[in-house]
A and B are shown apart, each in its own frame.
Chain A
């Protein structure tokens, strides 16, 4: 098998052209290996080889992002690479941004690519969700370490192999959670983490707390006696038999059910598909979760205008936020299209 063709992107400093005074160096394509590419080639062994190196000054790149990206990308594509490596950039900010920008552009072309930089490099936060960025030390003294992590991951990416968790492969966490087996069990890791925390030593959490969305409440309905109300639930109330096979956990869908003329949900007609709570009482009387009976009474008493003919239901049990958002967007649009004034959303 022939070696994979690799193109390497580096800046003027690592190309030995010069430091800050040469940072305005314009993009150049050179055949073969330049600077740190040697270390990559050694690490690739028989599997891959750097066929060309693209060099660009950091200031030039950042001051002319669009045109520099286009030029660099053309140079890279001219070599028909199987794989592109950018950097590593360590803690050099403009170099990091350039590596990330080039890598993201290369990836859009469908060419396998990775880069590497220090976690505090501004390029890291900008691009870690778009491309694999190997976490490196903060200076070029960490080159050997960086190459030893970048080369194996690069080959995996180029060959389309399964990529392990960030902690295994050494890339910066990119928001995609992946399972893997640690060497120690969780309880032992917890005790070790606590002892470090108690002694004010550095520890690394296995899950960073996210920041949550907040939804501002809508405006109050002034006259409920004229309002058209819809019922939506994440409590899993479905027609008996669960016709849409909504999952008991991790729902991938929601159901739209016609309740025109229905005034009461009974054990014979409705049930819950939800696997996350005691279903006995909801199965006995599903109005406990989806209050059709009370709404019917309130309509009769003139307190509420009308009930929308459809209700929407899913199972809110381990359901991914991405799915929940999608359901809400679709259901919301349907309710708006049907001129519903307000929604009673019941959870469990």
Chain B
């Protein structure tokens, strides 16, 4: 399966009479997009705003971040099974509006939503401070149940990203990146001497605000399976969760999965990147055992020499991570795991809730408990008062002067466990 990504650099977003992409700027007819999103009867209101790199703007509570993309040719459309028909994506050509994103916010659903600061201390920790963000502020109708509220906002984000993406269908790409996964047989013939490596991508699936969707299927209702890396680039995996903001994989992270990108960079050179195994992180012990048995079995069956395992979330999923690692190593497949840490505000506590000697190669995205001070911003899009209750916040997090003192946990994407950032800890 082969996919070309046509990269269209975006330097700005503006509201305008006509929605279009021109000279690196996205123009959005706000009324048109709002009307599209408000077709969902569970939403009471939708507002749009723009947050650019370097502006004194805070967005909170952030639910999801999505990069606008569009299928130019090849089967299917973006986000199959969610907002487009189920069809195998991952081949042909997809245009990418690089440098832009849709960010969803609005009244809080749970505790797990985050903060994006476009400047200052907080902006160093989130990759989304470097993007031109179209912020979609959704408010639910009165009395809407939490599950329906989460779904409405999730779908609104996807629709907005799809709407923006489609504006770039006929735009000429500045550069083209090509990614290809060959069949197992062809790979063995082509690179007989290179170690065979797969990526075991763990998907958060613990329930409300902790779910992930694969071709529209709730990952907690699925067994471990195989997916092509290019399918993920076309939106086959969508985030429905906010775990803790710092280590949730947003839809943006899935579309731009860095492990996939960095394995492709070594593909055919130091290793043979065979493909991606996805597995879930359910709450029941039997599910954890079954799913990790299954991912280890797939690793063995693919004849792998090595695997990178990435986690999502922390605490309870540490068990899934260690089970996966131990069982895959048990099949004679060497692993590196990517996680983050909850070592306490003083950094002195054990970082993970589970451990095993087999996990001897660990990459960490940093200690999410470390306390940071976020200066006041000139403008807040959303609800600053939730600083005291979101995961990582505490009573008094929101200071009288509008600044926030909280754990790094509150920053969307700060300790990402796909290894999206340079942040680490020792």
Contacts and interface: CB of A to CB of B under 8 A. Distances in A.
B419 A189 contact: yes
Contact of A180 (B345, B359, B424): B424
Interface in A171-189: 173, 175-189
A291 interface: no
Interface of B: 110-112, 124, 145-147, 195, 197, 206-210, 244, 258-259, 261-263, 265-266, 270-271, 283, 305-308, 314-316, 334-336, 338-339, 341-352, 355-357, 359-370, 388-395, 407-409, 416-426
Given A167-B426, A276-B316, A249 B367 contact: no
Contacts of A190: 259, 262, 308, 336, 338, 363, 419
A210 B350 contact: yes
Contact of B341 (A177, A212, A277): A177
A285 interface: no
A323 B343 CA distance: 11
Given A166-B426, A205-B360, A175 B348 contact: yes
Given A180-B426, A185-B258, A249 B391 contact: yes
A121 interface: no
Contacts of B334: 194, 197-198
B405 to A, nearest CB: 13
Contact of A184 (B112, B314, B392, B422): B422
A2 B296 CA distance: 64
28 contacts: A165-B425, A167-B424, A178-B347, A186-B365, A186-B423, A187-B262, A189-B363, A190-B262, A190-B363, A191-B271, A194-B307, A195-B266, A205-B361, A206-B425, A207-B364, A207-B425, A209-B355, A245-B394, A249-B244, A250-B407, A277-B207, A277-B283, A318-B315, A318-B392, A318-B409, A322-B344, A322-B346, A323-B349
A233 B345 CA distance: 23
A332 B21 CA distance: 64
B325 to A, nearest CB: 10
Contacts of A165: 424-426
A322 B335 CA distance: 30
B196 to A, nearest CB: 10
Contacts of B363: 186, 189-190, 193, 206
A134 to B, nearest CB: 14
A247 interface: yes
Residue of A178, A194, A209, A280 ringed by the most chain B CB atoms within 10 A: A194
Given A178-B347, A179-B425, A198-B197, 16 more contacts: A177-B343, A177-B347, A185-B422, A186-B418, A187-B308, A193-B361, A194-B335, A210-B351, A250-B369, A250-B407, A252-B394, A276-B315, A279-B111, A280-B145, A280-B146, A318-B368
Contacts of A184: 422
Given A194-B197, A207-B341, A212-B355, A186 B424 contact: yes
B351 A177 contact: yes
